[in-house]
Copies of this chain bind each other. A is one copy, B any other.
Amino acid sequence: MLGFHLLRSSISSSNLFSNFSAKTHLFSLLSISRLSNTNPRLQMECYSTSSETSRILIRQLFEKDSSTYTYLLADVAHPEKPALLIDPVDKTVDRDLSLVKELGLKLIYAINTHCHADHVTGTGLIKGRVPGVKSIISKESRAKADLFVEHGDKIYFGDLYLEVRATPGHTLGCVTYVTGDGSGHPQPRMAFTGDALLIHGCGRTDFQGGSSSQLYHSIHSQIFTLPNDTLVYPCHDYKGFTVSTVREEKQYNPRLTKDEETFKKIMENLNLPYPKLIDKAVPANLVCGLQEPIGNAA
């Protein structure tokens, strides 16, 4: 766990910097430089795939076969431009790493929202290609990784961070990563919801420790409590949508707008086919996408 640039602290803390001396696991890999950000936050409702500050870079990338979105995030105001990838896919690792290189970023983390059943993660391949990259997944996923996160943790990249919110229900180990709300963080906030909350949908709950009741409560307590203009970036979309907002999902999600009992019935009656890749993907994803993990992924 050495070199772990991740902060375990309470989500409810309003001042992230006051936490630097508070808890364990803080070994800053990168020097800290902080730019004064005097950009006033407009009070207007936005909806756009945007941030008012220029500190963060975000790139959404799509893998067509599994309809998976991978997200590249970086603190481009930091001298080292530290970056992370959320939910990389094995097939598109070349594309993703090429983009990282072109943008002059320093990739430090390859992160999964959960142990996927529909595609093989690119995490292990990335670790084999970019020395120093650490894989991250939730402790509850029971998958292998360099670093394990729990509800309330903060994953720092430069002066920005992602807050970890446990959102189990699709799988037992599902988490949502949410951008911070401190100075320099993007406004509106962005929630990378994995397969918990999809755009006008949600992940299925019939395997891998799934529970419709748990998913209902996860989304309502951990995602729908975020500000209405929070941008929802899911792990998949099958209709060509790229982003939604908490407001839109609270208003229009055909499953989550129902009461819990109705939601549970909907989820019990989806009659979805057995996932094509599950028998290959899950065993592989339990070890960073590789049957034989490279380096310290084991």
Contacts and interface: CB of A to CB of B under 8 A. Distances in A.
Interface of A: 35, 37-40, 42, 44-64, 76-77, 92, 95, 99, 102-103, 186, 239-243, 248, 251-252
A58 B52 contact: no
Nearest to A37: B42
Contact of A49 (B60, B62, B77, B252): B60
B38 A54 contact: no
Count this chain's copies in the assembly.
Answer: 2
Given A52-B53, A62-B240, A103-B47, A38 B40 contact: yes
A130 to B, nearest CB: 19
Nearest to A56: B48
A48 B51 contact: yes
29 contacts: A38-B40, A39-B39, A39-B40, A39-B42, A44-B54, A45-B76, A46-B54, A46-B76, A48-B50, A48-B56, A48-B76, A49-B60, A50-B52, A50-B54, A50-B56, A52-B54, A59-B241, A59-B242, A60-B242, A60-B243, A62-B62, A62-B241, A62-B242, A64-B64, A92-B240, A95-B240, A95-B241, A102-B248, A102-B252
Contacts of A99: 241
Chain B CB within 10 A, most for which of A44, A50, A53, A57: A50
A51 B50 contact: yes
B58 A50 contact: yes
Given A44-B77, A48-B51, 16 more contacts: A35-B44, A38-B40, A39-B52, A42-B53, A46-B54, A46-B57, A47-B59, A48-B57, A48-B58, A49-B59, A50-B51, A52-B53, A59-B241, A61-B240, A99-B241, A102-B248
Contacts of A60: 49, 242-243
A206 to B, nearest CB: 25
B52 A49 contact: no
Contacts of A243: 59-60
Lowest 4 A-B CB distances belong to which pairs? Answer: A62-B240, A46-B54, A50-B50, A44-B54
A73 B283 CA distance: 43
Contacts of A50: 48-52, 54, 56, 58, 186
Contacts of A103: 47, 248
A213 to B, nearest CB: 27
Contacts of A42: 37, 39, 53-54
Contact of A64 (B46, B47, B49, B240): B240
Nearest to A103: B47
